[in-house]
Amino acid sequence: NMSAGRPFLACACFFSDNIFVARYGLHVRYRDEEQLRRDHGRALRERGCRSEEEFAALLREIEAEVQRRKELVQQSVERRAIISECYQRKHPQVYTLQDSFLAPGFLEIVRYCTSPGAQLHGLLRYIQSFSDKRIYRLPVFTEEFCQALVDELENFEQSDMPKGRPNTMNNYGVLLNELGMDETLLTPLREKYLQPITALLYPDWGGACLDSHRAFVVKYSLHEDLDLSSHYDNAEVTLNVSLGKNFTEGNLYFGDFSREPTPVPRYIEIEHLGAQGLLHLGGQIHGALPITSGERWNLIIWLRSSAIRNQLCPMCNKKPQLVEAEGFGDGFTETLQDPVPETVDLCSLW
């Protein structure tokens, strides 16, 4: 997992920023106790954290999360080794991308995007656009592939294999790189199929030079995770595909762009359709409303462009403070050039 021979890196803010405190529904930044009280004390009190005992419990929870993040990389490497050696795959074919997995409508979109003279207005004839927030719906997989993938993931969930969770906001889900799906399923999907589409939709966000990703599946059901709080993604572009199964409600909602908040955000709600995907900017604030019945599995692919994020980390909004990472890391690379003038096509320089 190298970008032009360079290893992928992470930003040090991962160990201090965007720590989700579920009981208060709040993302916090944590350096030390004094800073936590100063920056978040008022918001925490408003959400019910009022006594010293409650604050002490919160502090323990945050410090445990920071420690978990510090151990994450090594634990992920260990889990992947165990899974690779011991896990019995139920549907081995789903691990290697084939055109037959992809919806005919999706292949038609890719054909258009890779044809000479392809342009955004032509692409918009093939996909559904929502509002002015640059959110698009398009067919992605066949129903058969979605069913086989969910069946494989359920088989893994029911096994005694070690399991890493996608993040602190989703308790139920699977990290697909740990299952061994990156190289043969997800990387070809990004490079060969998604990038021609994102190049037209998001040229200003590195859509033509997405050089890494992070992919996971999240699961919502009545007795587990029902919904997902407002957040933005550590991605330039996100693809969210509904894999099934049968569920009611649970629509996605989208608000402001994270770097351009407004006093009264305009929200739009979008229904999830089976085997279809939603493409949106990672920085678009969004969440999932509660499902009311059934079970929903979603494939989330955070698509990343080092050409963009090397300038500014999307999670701390600062020049990234680079630290070593494993695999695709968080999609940063050591920059070999001086800062790029804004008028230049970033992708052409990397």
Task: Look at residue 344 in the predicted model and tell me its pLDDT.
Answer: 46
Task: Look at residue 338 in the predicted model and tell me its pLDDT.
Answer: 42
Spatial CA neighbour of 236 closest among 191, 193, 198: 198
Task: Look at residue 301 in the predicted model and tell me its pLDDT.
Answer: 97
Q: Going along the chain, which residue ranges are E strands?
A: 2-3, 6-7, 9-11, 19-21, 26-28, 128-130, 135-139, 173-175, 212-221, 228-231, 237-244, 247-249, 252-257, 268-270, 276-281, 284-288, 291-304, 322-324
* Cβ–Cβ < 8 Å for 256, 285: yes
The Cα–Cα gap between 33 and 127 comes to: 48
In order, the DSSP letters of 184-209 are IIIHHIIIIIIHHHHHHH-GGGTTT-
Q: How confident is the model at residue 135 (pLDDT cuts 50, 70, 90)?
A: very high
Task: Look at residue 72 in the predicted model and tell me its pLDDT.
Answer: 85
Q: Is the pLDDT of residue 106 over 70?
A: yes
Task: Look at residue 350 in the predicted model and tell me its pLDDT.
Answer: 47
The Cα–Cα gap between 265 and 257 comes to: 9
The Cα–Cα gap between 316 and 6 comes to: 23
The residues spanned by each domain of the chain are 2-349
Q: Name the residue with higher pLDDT: 69 or 251.
A: 69
Q: How confident is the model at residue 342 (pLDDT cuts 50, 70, 90)?
A: very low
Q: Is the pLDDT of residue 43 over 90?
A: yes
Task: Look at residue 292 in the predicted model and tell me its pLDDT.
Answer: 61
Q: How confident is the model at residue 220 (pLDDT cuts 50, 70, 90)?
A: low
150-176 confidence digits (pLDDT tens): 999 999 999 999 988 776 555 567 899
> Angle at which helices 33-46 and 52-86 pack, to 10 degrees?
100
What burial letters (b/e) apply to 84-120, b meaning 16+ CB within 10 Å? eeebeeeeeebbebeeebbbeebeebbebbeeeeeee
Q: Is the pLDDT of residue 237 over 90?
A: yes
Q: How many CA atoms lie within 13 A of 224 on its CB side?
A: 13
Find the angle CA(84)-CA(89)-CA(93) to the nearest 5 degrees.
110
Amino acid at 127: I
- CATH placement of domain 2-349: 2.60.120.620
270-289 confidence digits (pLDDT tens): 887 878 999 999 999 888 77
Q: Is the pLDDT of residue 291 over 70?
A: no
